[in-house]
Amino acid sequence: MMAGTKALLILENFIGGKFSPCNSYIDSYDPSTGEVYCRVPNSGKAEIEAAVEAARGAFEAWSARSAQERAQVLNRLADLLEQNLDEFAQAESRDQGKTLTLARTMDIPRSVQNFRFFASSILHHTSECTQMDHLGCLHYTVRTPVGVAGLISPWNLPLYLLTWKIAPAIAAGNTVIAKPSELTSVTAWMLCKLLDKAGVPPGVVNIVFGTGPSVGEALVSHPEVPLISFTGSQPTAERITQLSAPHCKKLSLELGGKNPAIIFEDANLEECIPVTVRSSFANQGEICLCTSRIFVQRSIYSGFLKKFVEATRNWKVGIPSDPSASMGALISKAHLQKVRSYVEKARAEGARILCGEGVEKLSLPPQNQAGYFMLPTVITDIRDESSCMKEEIFGPLTCIVPFDSEEEVIKRANSVKYGLAATVWSRDVGRIHRVAKKLQAGLVWTNCWLIRELNLPFGGMKSSGIGREGAKDSYDFFTEIKTITVKH
């Protein structure tokens, strides 16, 4: 237990519009201190059963509301979240380890935007209609909500990715049971307090806390939850697929990445280097879209390396509340050990660690010495077959290697099992189009990173998942399409 006199924050499940205690709890740690500061319900089948009953009970009335009425509720929820932005940002930073600056400027504003975006987009979908005059028939399509949606969100962008699922699901008329990560449950619990004020009826949004094996499996295998949207790791997605198969559930799986950046000799390095440092180390490298393999054309390789390492050394690791910190703490002790183990593997293979872990010393205040901090780390002289170049690490570690030709780098960039995102840096527009088309990635940014257009599809190829999210894609996923033929 946590030392000292500070009371622990005790979370409760939110089912049928009410908070309900649990008979078992999990310790949740402050990543910046390594101390327990919160207790999260350790829910299971009984809680999921209650949530399914509440969600089913609320479905008929909620799905019968017009899109305009549901949009009003989402907009009110966005307003309330925005009014409490700072409180949510502080909670997210403490719970996840990210910098307060990032939570204030990215996580919580994007959560607000998710509700506003889907409140608007739900009003702009149209259905199809065709005529068969020779048979006297008219065909048209309608879309209807599916029912109870199971939503499982990860620990890296807790409220951001939870709202990215809740917003389209309830906008389309579904009711939901959400399971946030047991490592980062606080902002989901805080969101529950706003639901009634926003006019979300009891049972429309239910949030059940706990671990994957206990509450996640109960949710995924429940016969009355016809649809699962999951963001997380590939092994968990495999388990979800197995448990869903007997019920033929609709699945949306947004999984990992091993994202390449390809830097051609004509790239604008003044823009490229700061953006690529950010794409490698933002949020401690704990974003599925982060760059972890940097391919640099040989003629500029040594110059790039020198400038990149210099910029990385200026990427300050500090306590999350420090406004000058670029990076905070990693999510957990186990995850920190995992990321460090990759640096050791690379060193054992003969790779060079240019900066970061094991090369420089990290200086932290005494109260943060036990926190899960790690310096941003750059590795070079590493083979494409190395585990550091093949496996998703999800931490502040990136590998930089040279390449010679366009054909060669495309082949090497595509040589991993993942296909989520890629970045390409060049001033040659023809080359940008050619390379972007050949890369096996669901998203390709050229001369930029992480500029998102929520109308357009988001998701990956290969082992990076199944399905897409975005205005049309999320609407298609959270509804069933029906073709109606009328003979007149």
Catalytic residues: 254, 288
Q: How far does Cα 245 stand from its chain's mean position?
A: 24
In this structure, how many other beta carbons lie within 10 angstroms of the beta carbon of residue 70? 24
Maximum distance among all alpha carbons in the chain?
82
Exposure string for 223-240, b = 16+ CB within 10 A, e = fewer: eebbbbbbbbbbebbebb
Edge to edge, the sheet with strand 443-446 lists: 352-355, 377-380, 397-403, 291-297, 259-263, 421-425, 443-446
Q: How far does Cα 179 stand from its chain's mean position?
A: 14
Which residue blocks in 172-268 are alpha helix, DSSP H?
186-198, 217-220, 234-244
Helices 186-198/158-171 angle, 10° precision: 30
374 Cβ neighbours under 8 A, 6+ residues apart: 284, 317, 330, 336, 339, 340, 356, 357, 362, 395, 396
Task: Find, among 19, 400, 26, the residue nearest to 212 by Cα.
Answer: 26
Rounded distance between C-alpha atoms, residue 316 and residue 327, angstroms: 6
**CB-CB contact of 251 with 241 (8 Å):** yes
CA dihedral for 119, 283, 219, 43, sign (positive or negative): negative
Rounded distance between C-alpha atoms, residue 188 and residue 207, angstroms: 8
Helix (H) or strand (E) holding 275: helix 269-281
Helix (H) or strand (E) holding 375: none
* Residue 169, phi then psi, degrees to nearest 5: -65, -50
